[in-house]
Structure 1
Amino acid sequence: MPARVVIAGPSSWNHLIVLDRLPEPVPHMQFAERAWHTVGGTSAGKALHLAGLGLGPRLFTPLREDEDGARVASSLRAAGVAVEPLRTEDTERHVNLMTAGGERVSLYVSSPSDPDPDDVARVAREVAAAETAVIDLSMLGLRLLESGALGETPLWIDLHDYDGSSAFHEPFVRAAEVVFMNDDRTADPWVLMQSCLDRGPRLAVCTRGAEGAIALAADGTRHRVQALPAEVVDTNGAGDAFMAGFLAAALGGAGIDAALEASAAQARVAIGSRHLHPVLDGIL
């Protein structure tokens, strides 16, 4: 039976290190305030939250048959995610240097290789049979869009810190039904969202950190939601949780305002844990 939601994109094994300040570009020594290993990756984050919301997503993600790949796959499966590993020469790994104030530098220790054409074809068939698909920014996502074999399945795409002009993002924007982004690289998120809608999506959503989030529909309707009070443990994955909360609510029939409220609640779940989702506290 086809999955209701298919997700295609990155998962990783991460080493998170919290410092009192990000390192200056000069030789020196710093002591970590705390550090831990965990599952990372934007697609893994969305899959974890959708699983927690009862959507049973199927995640197609590049994972090598190595120790790190096995850790990622087993952790996600224990959390209720149906993981379908794709062939790659390396499992993606990051070292994230962070501060308590939310600053972050992500060091990519290894990245997945270009996806195998047979894997792309297999994932494309699964996307075409799904009710909804999340296609994340990655070479896998790009190859899927280039395949032209995704059928009529609505595509939800997370543009992250999109600036409105990145050439790599362009095919993702044009293929999407719904786009998400943050306001890190724009002075006017309303203009940024409208520029996305002008290329095809029916809805654009922009997260604004402590200021909450806004959404713009193709008919020009504007929507807003405030961020919910929360004890911030770690901000990694908050945007993925937000998008998952919106998608789950929308698939349940919620309108934009109600979906934004569900998104804000789900983002609070993520930032209250040192992992992408608190379910991993009992696994890792």
Structure 2
Amino acid sequence: MTTDTDVLVLGGAGVDTIVHVPELPLPYADSYMIRPGITARAGQSGDFVALGLTALGLRTHHLDMVGADPEGELVRAFHRDHGIPLTAVPQPAGTKRAVNLVGPDGRRLSLYDATRSHESDRLPEATVRRLAATSRHAHVVITQPCAQALPLLREAGLTLSTDLHDWDGADPYHEPFALAADLVFLSTSALTDPERTMRDIAARGRARTVVATAGAEGAYLLADGELTHVPAVTPPAPVVDSNGAGDAFAAGFLLGLLNGEDPRRCARYGAIAGAHACTVPSTRTDAITRAELLARAAEFQPTAASRATRSW
């Protein structure tokens, strides 16, 4: 069987409504006058990972459940416009959607519509097996119904990655993803002891590499038992929005991983891609190219990563 796809992305297709607010948290008021306006655009976690991978030159295929609604048309158009193959399984409950409140400093608060999926939702087994059979790697978003596809991807022999986002280390919903993946991304934002959580994921699951992103503080990389700190990269332009930065980090890391790079260099790629994403307005969808990423990576010395301490 030939390999047609470098990364099969499962889940995370949807539409965000972007609302710029004067500050976060937003104080109560009867009304606000919003500028530069309110915009609905396709682009949730799976969409942004697929976009980042495609911009980096990796052959990417996206699989998810999408509704027959205006939001679904935005998702389909997003993939057509960016040349990303999409297998859209019909979703009777409608396309996933969220409202993102974006502050002047680029911070974001996301409100997800939890009615757009059901526990009974399934990605067709035959479809998952067919796409997995011609893929090198699968990146699995933690949206419903991707957990049920994890055993099928394992049977196909793919390596797996996932992003737990702001997991608190305890919510059982995230555990199937955390324990099935070879590479786990998560944020430090809800963790009181990130190192303990990272080592727990590695000890109980399959992951040999765990990456905890920490915004302006950079990221922490646990690879084969050694914890190192990866410094943040200075964005090439003013920071306007953090939306999609974690997805860009994952795409950059996967570029290095699939090219056989050392985990520290993979993390450096991720940091560069994530920094670029912070300069892209939330109303747009854009990603760093392979040429841009490699040029920026060449500016850094190999000693940029350092052994991490417990001063979280």
In the superposition, the TM-score normalised over structure 2's length comes to 0.82
TM superposition shift of 1:183: 0.2
TM superposition shift of 1:118: 6.2
1:5 counterpart residue number: 7
C-alpha RMSD over aligned residues: 2.2
User: Cα 1:118–1:239, aligned 2, differ >3 Å: closer, same or farther?
Assistant: closer
Per-residue CA shift, 1:212-231, capped at 9, x if unaligned?
1110013x222222111122
* Structure 1: unaligned runs, 5 residues or longer: none
* Structure 2: unaligned runs, 5 residues or longer: 289-312
Equivalent-residue separation in structure 1 for 2:153 and 2:80 (angstroms): 30
Equivalent-residue separation in structure 1 for 2:199 and 2:104 (angstroms): 34
Equivalent-residue separation in structure 2 for 1:202 and 1:128 (angstroms): 23
TM superposition shift of 1:168: 0.7
Aligned pair partner of 2:230 in 206, 225, 240 = 225
TM superposition shift of 1:27: 5.4
User: Cα 1:29–1:57, aligned 2, differ >3 Å: closer, same or farther?
Assistant: same
Equivalent-residue separation in structure 1 for 2:126 and 2:120 (angstroms): 10
TM superposition shift of 1:127: 2.3
Aligned pair partner of 1:81 in 84, 88, 94 = 84
TM superposition shift of 1:4: 1.9
Aligned pair partner of 1:194 in 194, 199, 205 = 199
User: Cα 1:129–1:102, aligned 2, differ >3 Å: closer, same or farther?
Assistant: same
CA contact (8 A) 2:17 2:41 kept: yes
Equivalent-residue separation in structure 1 for 2:250 and 2:125 (angstroms): 24
For 1:188, the aligned partner's letter is D
Equivalent-residue separation in structure 1 for 2:149 and 2:53 (angstroms): 22
2:292 counterpart residue number: none
Aligned pair partner of 2:268 in 220, 241, 261 = 261
CA contact (8 A) 2:139 2:161 kept: yes
For 2:10, the aligned partner's letter is A
CA contact (8 A) 2:16 2:42 kept: yes
TM superposition shift of 1:36: 2.2
Equivalent-residue separation in structure 1 for 2:226 and 2:12 (angstroms): 33
SS at match of 2:124: helix
1:170 counterpart residue number: 175
In the superposition, the TM-score normalised over structure 1's length comes to 0.90
The question of 1:98 aligning with 2:106 is answered no
TM superposition shift of 1:147: 5.2
The question of 1:242 aligning with 2:242 is answered no
Per-residue CA shift, 1:10-62, capped at 9, x if unaligned?
111111011112434x5521121323222221110100000000002100022
TM superposition shift of 1:163: 1.6
Equivalent-residue separation in structure 1 for 2:198 and 2:159 (angstroms): 18
TM superposition shift of 1:113: 4.5
2:42 counterpart residue number: 39
Equivalent-residue separation in structure 2 for 1:118 and 1:138 (angstroms): 12
Worse-matched range after superposition: 64-73 or 192-201: 64-73
SS at match of 1:45: helix
For 1:145, the aligned partner's letter is L
The question of 1:67 aligning with 2:70 is answered yes
TM superposition shift of 1:279: 6.0
Equivalent-residue separation in structure 1 for 2:161 and 2:153 (angstroms): 16
Query: How many residues were matched structurally?
Result: 278
TM superposition shift of 1:162: 1.5
Per-residue CA shift, 1:84-103, capped at 9, x if unaligned?
11110101121211212344
Per-residue CA shift, 1:90-144, capped at 9, x if unaligned?
0112121121234433223452445754624412442244210001102221121
User: Cα 1:128–1:140, aligned 2, differ >3 Å: closer, same or farther?
Assistant: farther
Aligned pair partner of 2:286 in 251, 259, 278 = 278
CA contact (8 A) 1:158 1:180 kept: yes
CA contact (8 A) 2:21 2:101 kept: yes
2:295 counterpart residue number: none
Worse-matched range after superposition: 232-241 or 37-46: 37-46
Worse-matched range after superposition: 75-84 or 236-245: 75-84
User: Cα 1:150–1:272, aligned 2, differ >3 Å: closer, same or farther?
Assistant: farther
Per-residue CA shift, 1:137-181, capped at 9, x if unaligned?
022211212557642211101111112221111111111101000
For 2:105, the aligned partner's letter is G
Aligned pair partner of 1:16 in 9, 15, 18 = 18
User: Cα 1:107–1:58, aligned 2, differ >3 Å: closer, same or farther?
Assistant: same
1:138 counterpart residue number: 143
